[in-house]
Amino acid sequence: MKASLKAEWLKLLTTRTFYGLTVSAAVLTAFIGLGLVAQEPPPWHLTTEQFGALGGTNAIILGLFCLIVGLRSFTEEYRYGTIVHTAFADPDHTRTGLAKAVVCAGGAAALSAVSVMLTGLALYAMTLFSGGSFEATGVIAPALGLVVGGMLWAVIGVGLGAIIRQPVPTMITGLLWVLVIENVAAPFIGPIARYLPSQTAQVIARGLGESSDVSLAAGVMVAWAAALLMIGWTTLRRRDLM
Amino acid sequence: MIDNRQKRIGRKTYEHMPRQDRLRTESNHQIGAVNDMTTTIEHPVASDLVTQPAISVDQLTKRYGDRNVVDTLSFSIPRGVVTGFLGPNGSGKTTTIRMIFGLIHATSGTALVDGRPFATLPDPAGQAGILIDGAGAHPKRSAHNHLRIIAAERSVASARVDEVLDIVGLAGDAQRRVGPYSLGMRQRLDLATALLAEPQLLVLDEPANGLDPAGILWLRTFLRSFAAMGGSVFVSSHQLAELSLLADEIVVINHGRLVTHTGVGQLISAGHIQVRTAQVDDLTSALKQAGASVQPVSNDRIEVREIPIEQVGSIAAAVGAVLYELTPSANTLEEAFLELTNTKGEKS
């Protein structure tokens, strides 16, 4: 397992894509944060409630970036044929699947943490220059929520990538799911909609550990991630690799 | 030649060199010396595995829809030899190799490596190295990073990466991204990947593709020395002339079925005798009576099979046929292959 983890870390860190995604996510979430706050006239006073709302909005953006980190871990391997080498060392695919999930979750945590920190610093500077106030303790819960949500999105991505394999269809499916399908489906499925991944990610990002809703949402999202990873692993074992 | 090498690097040092270092030393020399090595270098295969074939395929079948791509195929690949794997395009070679390593699932039958299904080997990547169409490297990674990742996956020390890059002659390009590599360089990188865990078995699908003549010579020398030191090589290639120089045995398949598994010598020695005479009809009758297979080529020329050349000469003398030519003609591997697979004139 240690060998697979090391290999997966190297895979993540030896191309520029992960760094590009991290920088893009950080810049985008910081601008979104600044933009949302700047809708009100200065001076700006950022409270726990506003951080929660900001976390909910950025949960989707960061979630997409983390989902892409996860999706790419299998699809890139199929695209360039490196899956043969990976499967050769672990024909059972168990260690590979777990290692990819752990490493992508770790990568997503780092990506989310960088985004959260940059957004936090930008907002702090903004409020300081406007003569407003910054309730620093209110940042912690949404920040943790964004990191945990990002990690789970990455694991969902790993599972989805293992199921679909092809980079473009996998990416389209992931984006459609988060941006379109959940929104279209929500009015038709009523209260069940709150158990969909995007909804749960938003609940988590509004403030982890603050209410039983957050714990339930985290549990549901873990279940989504575990289910997709399991389906992906089963698919890998059953299908021909080439 | 081996004695000279041993003198140069010291016999004791030579015998205690890591196996791949010995290979690297050997691959810089010509084939003539390589065969001698079997007597001086300890066989590296564990004693309990020596009796097992390196690869054993039994009734292996792969069906896609109504079509059997591989059809009840059975053969065994012995240790310490180079076995060529031949077949026309679409004959099922690559599918067979992929099934042996569990990359695709067999519809029925078994494929064993060292007596066990590949996936159940304790250290699968350490026991076999493959170079196979479809396996590749991320174009944005350097060759060095590509091999570092695979070394990590296979629990191989990262120092080994530099060794294999040196063996395949890519050390100078190791830090460059793989994307702009030529086909020959990619082949070398794939070979480095196959060698990374110092396997006992190499399975190579068209390894000479894209290699220049020097690369082909290097590959041949390298694989011969690998086999001479106890390794097993199973190599599929369309370069039949090259394969006839490299392989000890040949497995030929067509339409997914085994055509023959024989020694290269047997395959190419089963040639014919060219006879030119003015008395074609008389001689043909006499030869056929003696059990020969006779094929007319032109008005004064026939090809004779299944009897020795001396007997052809005696029969010609007995019937009073004046011979203008009596020439033994060994099949080339190409001729034998085309004959066995009935693909003469077809695109392959």
Residue extents of the structural domains in chain A: 2-236
Q: Is A240 on the interface with B (CB under 8 A)?
A: yes
A7 touches chain B (CB under 8 A): yes
Q: Which amino acid is residue B52, in one-letter code? A: Q
Shared domain check, B158 and B110: yes
Confidence of residue B237 (pLDDT cuts 50, 70, 90): confident
Q: What is the pTM of this model?
A: 0.78
- Which helix (DSSP H) or strand (DSSP E) does residue B202 occupy? strand B201-205
Q: Residue B21: which domain range?
A: 2-45
Q: Which of A3, A10, A16 sits opposite B148 (nearest CB)?
A: A10
pLDDT, mean of residues B190-203: 91
Q: What are phi and psi of A135, to 5 degrees?
A: -85, 85
Sign, CA torsion A196/A201/A206/A208: positive
CA distance B182 to chain A (A): 16
Task: Check whether B107 has a pLDDT greater than 80.
Answer: yes
Q: Are residue B34 and residue B156 in the same domain, yes or no?
A: no
What kind and span of H or E run contains B21? helix B19-27
Number of domains in chain B: 3
Residue A16 to residue B147: CA distance in whole angstroms:
18
**Residue A80's pLDDT is what?**
92
Please name the amino acid found at residue B126: G
Q: Where are the alpha helices (DSSP H) in B204-298?
A: 213-228, 240-246, 264-269, 280-289
Q: What is the three-state SS of B46-79?
A: CHHHCCCCCEEEEEEEEEECCEEEEEEEEEEECC
Residues B34 and B52 in one domain: no
Instruction: Please list every residue in chain A whose beta carbon sits closer than 8 Å to the beta carbon of residue B130.
Output: 84, 88
A82–B152: do the CB atoms touch at under 8 Å? Answer: no
Q: Which amino acid is at A37?
A: V
The confidence band for B49, taking pLDDT boundaries of 50, 70 and 90, is low
Q: Does A237 touch chain B (CB under 8 A)?
A: no
Establish if A4 touches chain B: CB-CB under 8 angstroms. Answer: yes
| B244 lies in the same domain as B106 | yes
3-state secondary structure A194-224: HHCHHHHHHHHHHCCCCCHHHHHHHHHHHHH
Q: Is the pLDDT of residue B8 over 70?
A: no
The C-alpha of A3 sits at a distance from chain B's nearest C-alpha, in angstroms, of: 5
Q: Is B65 on the interface with A (CB under 8 A)?
A: no
- Asked if the structure places residue B109 within a domain, the reply is yes
Asked whether residue B346 is domain-assigned, the answer is no
For residue B246, the tally of other CB atoms under 10 A from its CB is: 24
Q: What is the pLDDT of residue A30?
A: 92
Any alpha helices (H) in chain A, and if so which ranges? Answer: 2-13, 17-37, 48-80, 83-89, 94-130, 137-164, 167-176, 182-189, 197-206, 212-238
Could you tell me if residue B334 is inside a domain? no
Give residue B38's pLDDT. 32
CA angle centred on A31, ends A28 and A35, rounded to 5°: 140
Residues A56-84 have a mean pLDDT of 91
pLDDT, mean over chain A: 88
Residue that is written with structure tokens 């699908």 in the block: B205
Neighbouring C-alpha atoms within 13 Å toward the C-beta of B117:
13
pLDDT at position A211: 61
Using the Cβ of A235 and the Cβ atoms of chain B, whether some distance falls under 8 Å is answered with no
Quick one: average pLDDT of A70-86?
92
Say if the Cβ atoms of B149 and A242 lie within 8 Å.
no
**Residue B116: Cβ-neighbour burial (10 angstroms; 0-12, 13-18, 19+):** middle
* B80-B123-B28 Cα angle (round to 5): 40
Q: What are phi and psi for residue B13, nearest 5 degrees?
A: -60, -45
Q: How confident is the model at residue B344 (pLDDT cuts 50, 70, 90)?
A: very low
Determine how β-strand B272-277 pairs with β-strand B301-305: antiparallel
Distance (Å, rounded) from C-alpha A135 to C-alpha A115? Answer: 19
Task: Verify whether the Cβ–Cβ distance A242 to B139 is below 8 Å.
Answer: no
- Look at residue B207 in the predicted model and tell me its pLDDT: 86
- Mutation target among A11, A12, A88, A242 for the B interface, most CBs of B within 10 A: A88
CA B347 to CA B334: how far, in whole Å?
Answer: 13
Q: State the CATH number of the domain containing residue B322.
A: 3.30.70
How close is the nearest chain A Cα to the Cα of B178, in Å?
11
Same domain, B98 and B180: yes
Q: Closest chain A residue to B157 measured between Cα atoms?
A: A3
Q: Give yes or no for B102 touching A (CB within 8 A).
A: yes
Whether B137 and B213 map to the same domain: the answer is yes
Contacts A–B by Cβ distance under 8 A: 81
Spatial contact of A89 and A1, defined as CB atoms under 8 Å apart: no
Interchain contact A226–B (C-beta under 8 A): no
pLDDT digit string, tens, across residues A197-208: 888 888 888 765
Indicate which CATH number applies to the domain containing B131: 3.40.50.300
CB contacts of A240 in chain B (<8 Å) are 98, 103-105
- The residue among A68 and A212 whose pLDDT is bigger is A68
Asked whether the beta carbons of residue A82 and residue B134 sit closer than 8 angstroms, the reply is no
* Residue position matching structure tokens 């038709």: A188
Query: Which residues of chain A are within 8 Å of residue B193 when distances are taken between CB atoms?
Result: 85
Query: Computed from CA positions of residues A202, A208, A214, A219, in that sequence, does the dihedral angle turn out positive or negative?
Result: positive
Could you tell me the maximum CA-CA distance found in chain A, to the nearest angstrom? 62
